[in-house]
Amino acid sequence: MLLVRVATRGSLLALTQTGWVIDQLRAANPGVDFELQIFKTVGDKVLDVALSQIGGKGLFTKELEDALLADKADIAVHSLKDMPTEFPEGLMLGCVPQREDPRDVVITADGTKFADLPRGTLVGTSSLRRLAQLRAARPDLEYGSIRGNVDTRLRKLQEGQVGALIMAAAGLHRAGFTDRITEYLEPDFCLPAPGQGALAIEIRENDPAIAEVVGRLHDSAAAVTVSAERALLARLQGGCQVPIGARAVIDRGLVHLEGLIASPDGGQVIRYAASGPEDGAAALGVQVAEWLLAHGGDEILARLN
């Protein structure tokens, strides 16, 4: 019997996501066994500093990738939005499973929606992208970085350490906290991160047996949309230090992509949307990124780099 060793982070959300992936892989691959391997990443260890201040790429992926390269694991399960746009030599994207809801959400203890939050309310978010867009809409609120597992952040809200949380819908759905969501933020108000809501299964190159096992979970529509979004991200060379948003959808054979780059203070928010064929998703991502750069994005990047 083939044994597939699955690398994951140890957070509640990571374990829940990886458990879902293993369940799907088991159903699609009778006779294959799976073993969980838990690793701690830099992003898991450093919880008192905003991601944008830690610097570097692969804050939630490097240790899992090292395990693949050292043959301590056969596949690694990531939140795709955490993955750098370039893979280490010897590794590749094995598949993109069906995508969850990519939107951001608001969570408040008493059900107050974002537009109705009292002036001065402290809003917790760990994302510069969210911060920039929310500041542009509500500069009268206070914003603070909040890190930790899903359940840790929800506890901080209940304890009154923050008045509202902004988080990814996908993580709350997967972790069983859908009932805590107060409001979904539509992309025209808060554009999601590139790849948000999607999972990525990373494998070694030249490993056909593992590629066949994970390939049975591949969702072509999810792969096309994240291809467009990640191509935009790659062209903008953005990491956690740059507020970048992207959202692609497929409608009647066309990919519609909207991209955003903003200054961290929300004073400058540049958005652009375009459409193209599915087989040109990556080229569409570059096209949208080039427009953003030509209309002020290059100046934002120059100030941040």
pLDDT in tens, 188-234: 999 999 999 999 999 999 999 999 999 999 999 999 999 999 999 99
pLDDT at 272: 98
pLDDT at 44: 52
Task: List, in order of start, the domains of the chain with CATH numbers.
Answer: 2-98+198-218 (3.40.190.10), 104-185 (3.40.190.10), 229-304 (3.30.160.40)
Total-model pTM: 0.90
Residues 134-188 pLDDT 10s: 999 999 999 998 877 888 899 999 999 999 999 999 999 998 999 999 999 999 9
Lowest mean pLDDT among 51-55, 292-296, 299-303: 51-55
- Residue 294: Cβ within 10 Å count: 11
| CA 169-239-22 angle, 5° bins | 50
The amino acid that residue 44 corresponds to is: D
Q: How confident is the model at residue 24 (pLDDT cuts 50, 70, 90)?
A: very high
The amino acid that residue 246 corresponds to is: A
97 closest CA partner among 8, 205, 225: 225
Q: How far apart are CA 147 and CA 47, in angstroms?
A: 6
Round the CA-based radius of gyration of the chain to a whole number and report it: 19
How distant, in Å, are the alpha carbons of 119, 192, 241, 242 from that of 265?
A: 17, 17, 13, 11
Q: How confident is the model at residue 56 (pLDDT cuts 50, 70, 90)?
A: very low
Residues 99-140 pLDDT 10s: 999 999 999 999 999 999 999 999 999 889 999 999 999 999
pLDDT beyond 60 at 55:
no
pLDDT beyond 70 at 86:
yes
User: What's the distance, CA 268 to chain centroid?
Assistant: 23
Lowest mean pLDDT among 49-53, 159-163, 214-218, 285-289: 49-53
Q: How far apart are CA 263 and CA 241, in angstroms?
A: 10
Q: How far apart are CA 2 and CA 158, in angstroms?
A: 45
Catalytic machinery residues: 82
101 closest CA partner among 166, 170, 150, 183: 170
3-state secondary structure 104-131: EEEECCCCCCHHHCCCCCEEECCCHHHH
The answer to whether residues 172 and 150 touch, using CB atoms and an 8 Å cutoff, is yes
